[in-house]
Amino acid sequence: MAVSVARRLFTVEEFVRMGEAGVFPEGERVELLDGEIVQLSPIGPRHGTCVALLTELFVAQASRRLLVWTQSGVNFDRRTQLEPDLALLARRVDVFRVAGVTPADVFLVVEVADTSLAYDRAKIARYARAGIREAWIVNLSEEVVEVYREPHGDEYAQQMRAHRGEHLTTAAFPDITIAVADVL
Amino acid sequence: MAVPVARRLFTVEEFQRMGEAGVFPEGDRVELLDGEIVELSPIGDPHRTSVMMLTTRFGALVAGRALVSCQNPVDLGRVTQLYPDLALLAPLPEVYRTRGNTPEDVFLVVEVADTSLAYDRAKLARYARAGIREAWIVNLNDEVVEVYREPQGDEYARRTRAHRGEHVTPAAFSDIVIAVADVL
């Protein structure tokens, strides 16, 4: 039966408190999107391997200019805390330690998508709205990396797809290069 | 934007842990319906007056045969914990202190409805499904008390309405007579 309920929405602060209180069992992946607690699908072996390879490649090239942030929270507003698979951040470690990460600190977010593609595309809109400069979706089903740049409202004005055999650089750091084939 | 989210649902145990951890501010009225945390509307003056009248009447008449539970939780299985405006429970305080109640402990639940009528009707289906023997809706808009008995699946097989000038009696206590006019 369809019931019109006023679902209780949560703030980031409440969401964090739930985690501290042990509401979410160890290993459960949840994030907070516009006040709703969203359950993320478990990370399969292909997804996990992709994140590991991306991490390795970014860490090797970041050479202490950047912080490579994997599967940790980024605070978007009072009611949204998302966990991109990977993000490249300014090295503001002392701030992050106390106040967490905000979109202004983010040079690039990367989502690895297999079963989660529809949800990851929806998150891209959220990243654009927050003004995140660049976002990638490593689309494992189609074996491409989708690149989104120039946030404009809920979208990115510039969208490209890079296939196996091609290379990607980040807009903020053109010397950082990733071969698509290395992460699929 | 419609986002395909897998909303995280909660168990009664997790819901209670949230409350203990202070996730819900003082005065925040929430309940758990099929794993979803629902925000209840604030209680207006006619509503609270009706609840007070019901509590006073039942308190005077049950005389040790039942506990009068006012805006307290009632457990209806693993993922539902509702807060009826009033409930008559078997007098088992030692049991409730440690493990809550079971649906069999409940003689009657009463919901007072003004703005919340649609939601209160939806809750009836949960009461029926859990096997709660009898439920009343004190419908302040229509000035009637709706009486529901004989739970069958998601519904009650027997429904009657009592108007001003009439009386209502819970099935479990045939000597308890409440004048409709007293609780509107």
Query: Cβ–Cβ of B1/A125 closer than 8 Å?
Result: yes
Going residue by residue through chain B, which has 184 residues, state the pLDDT in tens, using 9 for 90 and above.
455 678 899 999 999 999 999 999 887 899 999 999 999 988 999 999 999 999 999 999 998 999 999 999 999 999 999 999 999 999 999 999 998 899 999 999 999 999 888 899 999 999 999 999 999 999 999 999 999 999 999 999 999 999 999 999 999 999 999 999 999 9
Q: Say yes or no for a CB contact (<8 Å) between A18 and B18.
A: yes
**Which of A14-28, A96-110, A161-175 is least confident?**
A14-28
| pLDDT recorded at residue A26 | 83
Kindly list the structural domains of chain A, giving each domain's residue range(s) and its CATH number in brackets, ordered by start: 41-183 (3.90.1570.10)
For residue A126, the model assigns a pLDDT of 93
Average pLDDT over chain A, rounded to an integer = 93
Chain B contact present for A27, CB below 8 A: no
**What's the whole-number mean pLDDT along residues A160-184?**
95
Quick check: A154 and B7 CB within 8 A? no
Tell me, yes or no, if B26 comes closer than 8 A to chain A by beta carbon.
no
* Partner residue facing B36 (CB), from A5, A23, A38: A5
B1 and chain A in contact, CB less than 8 A: yes
Distance from CA of B74 to the nearest CA of A (A): 18
B7, B22, B39 member nearest A36 (Cβ): B7
List the domain boundaries for chain B.
Answer: 43-183
What confidence tens digit (pLDDT) does each residue in B9-47 have?
999 999 999 999 999 988 789 999 999 999 998 899 999
Residue window 94-123, chain A: list those with CB within 8 Å of chain B.
118-119, 122
Q: Is B14 on the interface with A (CB under 8 A)?
A: yes
Contacting residues of B for A80, CB less than 8 Å apart: none
HEC sequence for B2-61? CCCCCECCCCHHHHHHHHHCCCCCCCCCEEEECCEEEECCCCCHHHHHHHHHHHHHHHHH
C-alpha to C-alpha distance for A171 and B60, rounded to whole angstroms: 75
Chain A contact for B37, CB < 8 A?
Answer: yes
Long-range contacts of B171-176 (CB under 8 A, 24+ apart): B171/B108, B171/B133, B171/B134, B172/B66, B172/B88, B172/B107, B172/B108, B172/B133, B172/B134, B173/B61, B173/B62, B173/B65, B173/B66, B173/B88, B173/B107, B175/B61, B176/B58, B176/B61, B176/B62
Say if residue A3's pLDDT is above 70: no
- Of residues B136 and A114, more confidence is placed in B136
Which phi and psi (to 5°) does residue B140 adopt?
Answer: -70, -25
Segment A137-153 mean pLDDT = 96
Portion of chain A with pLDDT greater than 90, in percent:
85
How much is the pLDDT for A1? 43
Higher pLDDT, A113 or A2: A113
Per-residue model confidence as pLDDT tens digits over A42-58: 889 999 999 999 999 99
CB B167 within 8 A of CB B178: yes
Indicate yes or no: CB of B4 within 8 angstroms of CB of A118: yes
Contact flag A38-B18 (C-beta cutoff 8 Å): no
According to CATH, the topology of domain B43-183 is tt1808, chain A (3.90.1570)
How large is the average pLDDT for residues A88-110?
95
| Reported ipTM | 0.77
B39 touches chain A (CB under 8 A): yes
Say whether residue A37 is in contact with chain B using an 8 A CB cutoff. Answer: yes
Q: Name the token pair of B124.
A: 């009836």
Is B5 close to A33, i.e. CB distance below 8 A?
yes
Q: B21 and A21 in contact by Cβ < 8 A?
A: yes
